[in-house]
A and B are shown apart, each in its own frame.
Chain A
Amino acid sequence: AQKITQTQPGMFVQEKEAVTLDCTYDTSDQSYGLFWYKQPSSGEMIFLIYQGSYDEQNATEGRYSLNFQKARKSANLVISASQLGDSAMYFCAMREGQNTGANSKLTFGKGITLSVRP
């Protein structure tokens, strides 16, 4: 079974509007971390936001916020006031806590392409 699921094939949003990118995850660990990365066409993966499984508040970072619903195992990224520069591929990723030593790995979803229209 996939550990990170991103099913939206491609998303379009009008400039200045908000958009939600979906991410569901699967883990039996109680301790885990969820990450969102942005990858423009230039190739660099840019870290956006982090949510820990024990964090009571939803993470926010500027125009990015994470809608964390633990019982539903979802960690959707909300981008407010979209800008043309937000057009990119977005990856959701998880690190599970059962093995937080040197051998723990970051598991990525398949990614979602976001296009912002002027």
Chain B
Amino acid sequence: DTEVTQTPKHLVMGMTNKKSLKCEQHMGHRAMYWYKQKAKKPPELMFVYSYEKLSINESVPSRFSPECPNSSLLNLHLHALQPEDSALYLCASSYQAGGFAEQYFGPGTRLTVT
């Protein structure tokens, strides 16, 4: 089973709200990723967790706060977002962060910031 699940599918939030995106995988993968994708553009890497530790932060603004409670779960906490943060947020996982292991993506959360 190569399934990565994400909740919610859609999220509308105001600029003063606090919300969280959730991602889960049960493939035993040790690396998990957050990507941001604007329409008609490739995904942009935000964060990488390897063995539950943050290994890459692509200079993401602090209004995005990742959390990896255990090897199967990945959260993205959102606070005081801007309208330009509206995008598709994709979670992915791979067997390991290094090497050439393919990444499996979830269906994404479509975020709209009003």
Contact = CB atoms under 8 A, between A and B. Distances in A.
A102 B42 contact: no
Given A101-B98, A104-B97, A47 B103 contact: yes
A42 B103 CA distance: 18
B100 A33 contact: yes
Interface residues of B, number: 26
Q: Give the residue among B2, B90, B102 with the most A Cβ atoms within 10 A.
A: B102
A35 B110 CA distance: 24
A79 B92 CA distance: 25
A44 B55 CA distance: 24
Given A102-B55, A108-B42, A110-B41, A44 B108 contact: yes
B107 A44 contact: yes
Interface string B55-94: 1100000000000000000000000000000001010100
Contacts of B102: 35, 47, 50
Given A102-B50, A105-B56, A45 B98 contact: no
A111 B42 contact: yes
B43 interface: yes
A-B pairs, top 7 by smallest CB distance, nearest first, are: A33-B100, A108-B42, A45-B105, A102-B55, A102-B50, A102-B97, A43-B108
Interface of A: 32-33, 35, 37, 42-47, 50, 52, 89, 91, 95, 97, 100-106, 108-111
Interface of B: 2, 31, 40-43, 45, 48, 50, 55-56, 88, 90, 92, 97-100, 102-108, 110
